[in-house]
Amino acid sequence: LEHLLFKGTTRRTALEVNRAVDAVGGEFNAYTTREATVFYLRVPKPHRQMAIDLLAEVVVTPKLSPEDLEIERNVILEEFEAALDTPDDLVFMNLAEGLFPDHPVGREVLGRIETIEGLTAEEISAFHSSWYRPNRFVIAAAGAVEHDWLVQEADKFGDGLAPGLSREQPQNPDALCVTAARPIEQVHCAWGWRSPESGHADRFAQSVLNHVLGGGPTSRLYTEIREQRGLAYAVQTSHSSHSDCGSFALYLATAPRHLSTVRTVLEDVLGDLCASGVTEEELTVAKGYLAGSMLMGLEDSDARMSRLGAAFTGVGRVTPVGEVLTGLAEVTAADIQRVATTLFTSRRVESLVGPASAVAPFGSI
């Protein structure tokens, strides 16, 4: 659907839409995450009225023709096949499905091949009518724009539209290992745990934990696995928070002969973190990094716009910068140890992609 909305509206062709943006030196694009689809326009201030009008037209009144569906169906299938051929994409696709079984957050953003192949124009139109509703739109702007003007223009996105549908709640995962055999040289390994939602009180502690464990070149996993042992080139952790759930993951790629050693090292590092906590130096570095990187990110208007939209989509409010800085500053070593212990003693999902001989002992799909 994201692709089809760029194929024209009930009033303009795709060429006319693109020409309107090009004529003012603008940028018009979109992306889809596990919880939202985002359409964004960037134009010089004198053309903001054109931008908001065009954005509303594209999102609310798309053409959605069967001919365009066939073209974009093939594009998405090619994109999906490319993801399946990319081990570090596939390992996270399988990890998400294991963490959130039978729930949209666990499904690949692109969908499933059989679903994509079977979609009809009527189903696409029905989906648009059900989900592109006023109570689901979040309109965010940054730069040379006034709040009152944007509020007035926001009516263009909701005139005459009915409320949308409610969301499902994810089920807890079972502990498991998901493997995929591929004729490649390395084993791509990802571990994941369910974690709190985006508005949870422990969100700041979890961000600090992420940086201490695998957020950069001073992190424990990077130091232990790459710098001291040379067992992997890339090793990192990440956490994703949604409106009603979240996940924490670690990832690395290593030679098959090192897989057993790497898994033991991972267990040891996580165990030590839960048992002994973090040092004051680790805490200071992590909090300083997170605060500094956030402040530097605010220098970009696109980043500010994305921050506003993501905040309203996730928790229904924008957390003031000062509140974020205070939240980070108040994180203690005891908080990190408590959050780490809760997280890493919960049910874990493991995903492996690599040569059959390396992943076969863990099962296969």
Asked if 189 and 350 count as a contact pair (C-beta separation under 8 A), the reply is: yes
Neighbour tally for 145: CB within 10 Å: 16
Amino acid sitting at position 268: D
If you write DSSP's letter for every residue of 226-279 in order, what string do you get?
A: IIIT---S-EEEEEEE-SS-EEEEEEEEE-GGGHHHHHHHHHHHHHHHHHH---
- 3-state SS, 328-348, equals HHCCCHHHHHHHHHHHHCCCE
Find the helix or strand (DSSP H, E) in which 282 lies.
Answer: helix 280-297
Q: Which of 87, 140, 186 is nearest to 309 (CA)?
A: 140
Q: To which residue do tokens 């005891």 refer?
A: 334
Round to whole Å and give the CA distance between 306 and 283. 28
- From the list 2, 57, 197, 224, the catalytic residue is 2
Task: Look up 2 and say whether it is catalytic.
Answer: yes
| Cα angle 354, 260, 341; round to 5 | 105
Round to whole Å and give the CA distance between 88 and 232. 14
Tokens of 81: 């096949």
Annotated catalytic residues are 2
